[in-house]
Amino acid sequence: MKIASLPARAVTGTGAAMSSEEEPTHGHWIVERCPRALRRFLRRRPMWLVEVVLFLAVGGAQLTLDWIVYVVLSYGTLPVAVANIIARMSGASLGFWLNRKVTFPGADGRVGRSHFLRFSAFWVVATFVSTAILEAARWHYGLEASWLVKPAIEAVLAVASYLISKYWIYR
């Protein structure tokens, strides 16, 4: 079927024709479940921008949980390194599942063993970097300084995490 032969019809991103009264689909399940006004707004945006916004939303929830757990545990009797590892595990558990289900759903939306293994490999490296910087901050400036530095460290790691998640972990 030629597009030129469809003067009153539009073509979706998949090549299937639809009437002009129907709204085009964006290809992301969360966009299709939004309220109508938000759905229309999101459909006009490129897919990569929607992914970045969703990644930031998931990352915000993940960072909040991570930071709260870190502060509570390090304020107690746990050393900074142990508190950071436990805090990152709590945030990572939430982030791994939400990013696969919401941000990078893939064709089937399932979380597989290969995704988990790739995620774990990146997580170990990122946790080592984060812990080393937090220990240095605590050593030079005190525990409270490490509490303030943690969100900045995680924000920098989030940039690398987005790219690695999109092109390696959840591919």
Would you kindly state where each structural domain of the chain is located, as residue ranges? 3-43, 47-169
Residues 6+ apart with CB under 8 A from 133: 149, 153
Q: Enter the pTM of the model.
A: 0.71
Residues 6+ apart with CB under 8 A from 100: 106, 109, 110, 111, 115, 170
SS3 label, residue 19: strand
The tens digit of pLDDT for each residue in 121-159 reads 999 999 999 999 999 999 999 999 999 999 999 989 988
**Residue 136 class from Cβ within 10 Å (0-12 exposed, 13-18 middle, 19+ buried)?**
middle
Mean pLDDT computed over every residue of the chain: 79
Residues 6+ apart with CB under 8 A from 126: 88, 157, 160, 161
Please check the confidence at residue 106 and state whether its pLDDT lies above 70.
Answer: no
Q: In whole angstroms, what is the distance from residue 16 CA to residue 3 CA?
A: 10
The tens digit of pLDDT for each residue in 27-69 reads 566 666 666 777 677 777 787 887 788 888 888 999 999 999 9
Q: Phi/psi at 18 (nearest 5 deg)?
A: -145, 160
